[in-house]
Amino acid sequence: MGLFRKRNQIVPEGKLSWQVGEYLNQRQRKLADYLNNKTRNVSATAILFGLIIFCAVFGSYLIYLLTGAFGVFN
3-state secondary structure the chain: CCCCCCCCCCCCCCCHHHHHHHHHHHHHHHHHHHHHHHCCCCCHHHHHHHHHHHHHHHHHHHHHHHHHHCCCCC
Tell me what the mean pLDDT of segment 10-37 comes to.
Answer: 86
The amino acid at 18 = W
pLDDT of residue 11: 56
Q: 35 with 41: CB under 8 angstroms?
A: no
Is 64's pLDDT higher than 80?
yes
25-38 residue pLDDT tens: 999 999 999 999 99
